[in-house]
Amino acid sequence: MTGQPFNAVTPRQYKAAVLQLDVQFNKVGWHFPQQRILSLWGDVAPTLSGARPPEPMVLRLNTYDCAEYWHTNLVPGEYKVDDFQVTTPTDVIGQHIHLVKFDVTSSDGAANGWNYEDGTLSPDEVRERIAAINRFNGDTALQPQAHPFFGPGPVLEDPLNPGQTVGRWLGARTTVQRWLADPVVNRYGKDRGLGIVFSHDHFGPSTHQQVGLYATVLSEPAQSQWKHNETGETLYSGRTLANVSGTDGGPTSCSAQRESSPSWWRPSATSRSRSSRRPTSTVPGSSSWERVSRARSSGCSATP
């Protein structure tokens, strides 16, 4: 699409990571030690340290956007038994997106038929596989590598080598998906975007959807811009990270205002002829600024 800023050559980038943290829910101290959420790469450290409160992951796209989504797995390879669930392997986690277009063989976030297994292995699983291969071959030729951004991570006791320690994130992997947002035109000829899109893990959904591991993608009309409801900060402002090319897509928030200015986009001739039958004042959502109340559905209330 001519004039579209985020296309196949220069896609909109989001770099997110799955992390596990102990979340406190109230002042009394009620907490959940195996909460699993998605967070942008630049928000992982402040979220784990408590400097940034955890919040639902909301990504934003515009009509005609081509998006590149980087998915990193930083969680343990097993969900431990608790009062609510049984011990469950979580050695691979995917991010299955709905509604947008994608190549099902490589960007489905799942394992379907003969398609590639589009999931991201846990660091525990990577280290375990490397140890098994080395034992079979009788050497130590293979060694897990530190993630280029997150490094080896916090140190813990190595379950594969009693008495030794290892970086919790050593061997962490990142998989990359590509998404395309098509237009959705209403009867007035106005593009409304795909709206609210659900994204979740497809390898252990019965476990992870109970502990918060899912995300919302809000698809808006072409060339929309977004600002934080409370601070006015521009979202998706090209935040860069050390030792990583491109942006992680930050900052983001589940609460935002949207400014629509599709100056270059025009509906088709058929759509224009339909819309000309009604006064323009009847077209819903015609104001330049709109409070995105849809963000409330992700669990974060927009400021009145």
For residue 256, the model assigns a pLDDT of 85
Identify the weakest region by mean pLDDT among 2-6, 27-31, 143-147, 195-199: 2-6
- pLDDT exceeds 50 at position 302: no
Identify the weakest region by mean pLDDT among 22-26, 219-223, 248-252, 280-284: 280-284
Quickly state the pLDDT bin for 291 (edges 50, 70, 90). Answer: very low
- pLDDT exceeds 80 at position 87: yes
Over residues 129-155, mean pLDDT: 94
For residue 118, the model assigns a pLDDT of 84
For residue 255, the model assigns a pLDDT of 82
Quickly state the pLDDT bin for 257 (edges 50, 70, 90). Answer: confident
For residue 216, the model assigns a pLDDT of 92
Over residues 235-248, mean pLDDT: 88
**pLDDT per residue over 274-290, tens digit each?**
333 333 333 333 333 33
Find out whether the peptide bond into 251 is cis, omega within 30 degrees of 0: yes
Alpha carbon of residue 268 to chain centroid: 32
Across all residues in the chain, what is the average pLDDT?
82
Give Cα separations from 209 to 117, 132, 180, 203 (angstroms): 20, 31, 25, 11
For residue 179, the model assigns a pLDDT of 94
Over residues 108-129, mean pLDDT: 85
Higher-pLDDT residue of 14 and 210 is 14
For residue 220, the model assigns a pLDDT of 87
DSSP 234: B
Quickly state the pLDDT bin for 297 (edges 50, 70, 90). Answer: very low
For residue 109, the model assigns a pLDDT of 85
**pLDDT per residue over 36-75, tens digit each?**
999 999 999 999 999 999 988 999 999 999 999 999 999 9
Q: How far apart are the first and last CA of the chain?
A: 36
For residue 261, the model assigns a pLDDT of 53
- Give the integer Cα–Cα distance in Å for 205 and 247: 29
Report all structural domains of the chain as residue ranges with CATH numbers, in order of start: 12-224 (2.60.40.420)
In percent, the amount of the chain with pLDDT more than 70 equals 83
Q: Please name the residues in contact with 230: beta carbons below 8 A apart, sequence gap of 6 or more.
A: 255, 303
- Give the integer Cα–Cα distance in Å for 167 and 169: 5
Over residues 83-89, mean pLDDT: 91
- The total number of residues shown for the chain amounts to 304
pTM for the full predicted model: 0.82
